[in-house]
Chains A and B, each alone.
Chain A
Amino acid sequence: MSELLIAGGRVVDPARGVDGRLDVLVREGEVVAVAPDLARGGSYERVLDASGLVVLPGLIDMNVQLREPGRSADETIASGAAAAVRGGFTAVAVMPNTEPAVDDEAGAEFQVLQGKRAGKAWIYPIGAVSRGLEGKALAELAGLKRGGAVAFSDGDRPLRSAEMLRCALLYAKMLDRVVVQHPEDYDLAKQGVMHSGRVSTILGLAGKSAASEQVMVSRDLTLAELTGAHLHLGRISTAGSLELIRVAKHKGVRVTCDVTPHHLSLTDEAVESFNPCYKVDPPLRTQRDVEALIEGVLDGTVDAIASDHAPHSPEKKDVEFQFAPSGVIGLETTLGVVIEHLVHGRGMPLTRLAELLSAGPARILGLPGGSLAPGAPGNVTVVDVDGAWTVGPEFVSRSQNSPFVGWTLRGQARYTVVDGQIAYAAEPAPAG
């Protein structure tokens, strides 16, 4: 019998309207009880002292790339799962843009199996919408679901064909799964490598306009409304996209969306350094967009924050800006950036933090968890909200391409509990 009592922490569980000093008892991988002063009532196999810490339902990152199969030099499921628990994530949803793509039952099953072997964070495959991510023919979505896929997406390749998306939405609706789209119009985005604006004009780098995202968001929302299916728009980056989503939600369209930590904390001005660690898709936008995204996070228009963890080994990433692959790692910094910038910086309540990083993703993907209700999985993240730490330069991830190296952040996972087991424990913070 395995038994763990997380004692004396401030438990924040918005799904159950809980916010208070409570003890959490996890037994045999399940939450058994959340109540005051359980610690006083008896003896337990293992007790974690969470006094002064915040206890959240296990965090879930719904947009991660782990490069397995195909590019294990950049990341594997094992290294990614270890990076996840270090960052406080008890579960991650993995994009299918591997080599080969995860576009069939066996591919999804392989990732689930590798996740079990790694024994850290839970791994949920997101299956491809189209065979080989080619955007031409539907993948076997029901087979993918059987293999363990929790959603369908062509990852960083938006579905160009409107008819393709329409059919995918209908089919996914039948299977009670969400389609995740990263909206971008290829023609308008052209060969852009950064946001099209004042900075790209100065630097002479080809730009992707805000319109290249918003045109696709408009189209996708129209199709979500048409089909009545659940569409999730991933890594939204512009004020205009958010406004379109806000209006659609108001109309009752079944749409949800997420944003990344880097789009909440960096602007296109960072590209002036020509440092490829600031090259991401969609590109870093303007201060006005950052403000709008933060507003959307605070007012509930944004349903989740996801890292868009995209590992690239240094020899691929440390090249000329325009030749560098897009993407940054984020599993180990997302919690810190969000707590520093939004909780401390903007006074965001911790209930909202739990919503964005746990309850929201669980609801969008239909996962167990996202709450500490009795019977829920024993996945718990214990967070030090105030302790400051410095990012990098070393990471658990196999890749080091973080834009946050050297930043001092408040907010860090102290214990990450998966299946009732302590999957990660930080060194205790030095006294004083």
Chain B
Amino acid sequence: MKEAPRAAWTRRDLLGLRELSAEEILSILDAAQGFADISTRSIRKVPTLRGRVVVNLFFEPSTRTRLSFSLAAQRLSADVLDFTTGSSSTVKGETLIDTAKNIEAMGVDVFVVRHSAPGAAAILSRNLEAAVVNAGDGAHEHPTQALLDLYTIRQKLGRFEGLHVAIVGDIGHSRVARSNIWGLLKLGAKVTVVGPPTLVPGRFAELGVEVSHDLDAVLPQVDVLNMLRIQRERQGTLNFPSSEEYTRLFGLTGERLKRAKPEVIVMHPGPINRGVEIAPEVADGPNSVILDQVAAGLAVRMAVLFLVSTGTRRDPPAQLPGVTSPGEAS
């Protein structure tokens, strides 16, 4: 690693992008850029985290995120443990906190946590000494996915200020969308979320993004199209009638892409439902940066594992939100 990260990073956890400043986000992207070089060397490994232990604590099935974190940790010479189990309130009657504390007692430095419950990573960060990296907590945040998306955008377009990014799909249930929204807004991009109103609640406007239910109207305006995976299990429910109808309205086909700027980049966090949210000719076409995203993910995760290993945990805020003081507005 040649470039030193910006001085902004002092945290011991990466729980989400909402709590980060633009400076902190950029410091991760800068560090990632330094680590990206390692993948091009003949010996693709550095001793940065030798002797440290990283555990992947996954309560939800995941292949690519877990592999990406494992490889990132191995390239930093850390020892890697994998703990994968089903998502429920307890594992063999043991609570999340007890499970994590037991593993921590083996001498773990960094927890990489994937869980179906929003706040799972935050709960662990309050209960563990080790650093905690959120690898996806329910529909709340998936910060490393958004960071790799940001990294890819910067790599391809060179800036954030003035860019217009459309995020298309099941925004309401998406942690990827939320983390992207926070990151993009902090870095000065404009964001439009697109999809049917059952999946894209109008309330998202309160987060500072535009809400649209008309992909064709949005397409000509945007520099980046981030197509989210549609969960087929949601079809035929009240969310949307069928994947065919979804594709007709919101699927990115080659024909539809002609409405967009020629230099638009097309992103997808994977895994792809070919022919549902994105047509094969678009996923494999010249505008697609999907495989660049995967490569960026490795560099970003190396940067994150490195940075949290050097950070310190901040004291919690003295004043909790949501507590109304007596006499307020009286």
Chain A residues within CB distance 8 Å of chain B: 197-198, 201-205, 265-274, 278, 284, 287, 290-291, 315, 318-323, 340-342, 344-347
Contact = CB atoms under 8 A, between A and B. Distances in A.
B8 interface: no
A277 to B, nearest CB: 11
Contact of B178 (A204, A278, A318, A321): A204
Interface stretch (B26-34, B45-53, B136-144): B136-144
Interface in B285-330: 320-330
A201 B96 contact: no
A322 B140 CA distance: 12
A265 B119 contact: no
A203 B119 contact: yes
B164 interface: no
Contact of B324 (A201, A271, A278, A290): A290
B141 A204 contact: yes
B233 to A, nearest CB: 15
Contacts of B321: 269-270, 272-273
Nearest to B141: A204
Nearest to B137: A204
Contacts of B330: 345-347
B120 A270 contact: no
B106 interface: no
* Dominant secondary structure of chain B at its interface with chain A: loop
A342 B123 CA distance: 33
Contacts of B123: 274, 320
Given A270-B320, A323-B88, 17 more contacts: A198-B203, A201-B203, A201-B206, A202-B178, A204-B141, A205-B139, A205-B140, A267-B323, A268-B322, A273-B321, A274-B119, A290-B324, A291-B329, A318-B95, A319-B95, A320-B96, A347-B330
Contacts, number: 99
B175 A204 contact: yes
21 contacts: A198-B206, A201-B201, A201-B203, A202-B178, A203-B140, A204-B138, A266-B323, A270-B320, A270-B321, A274-B122, A319-B97, A320-B123, A321-B118, A323-B88, A340-B326, A341-B324, A341-B326, A345-B325, A345-B326, A345-B328, A346-B330
B322 A267 contact: yes
Nearest to B115: A320
Contacts of A197: 203
Interface in B76-120: 88-90, 95-97, 115, 117-120
A201 B204 contact: yes
Contacts of A290: 324
A284 B322 contact: yes
A269 B322 contact: yes
Contacts of A198: 203, 206-207
B18 interface: yes
A272 B141 CA distance: 13
Nearest to A321: B119
Q: Would you list the 7 A-B pairs with minimal beta carbon distance, nearest first? A: A270-B322, A345-B326, A274-B119, A204-B139, A269-B322, A320-B117, A204-B140
A318 B122 CA distance: 13
Contacts of A273: 122, 320-321
Contacts of A267: 322-324
B138 A344 contact: no
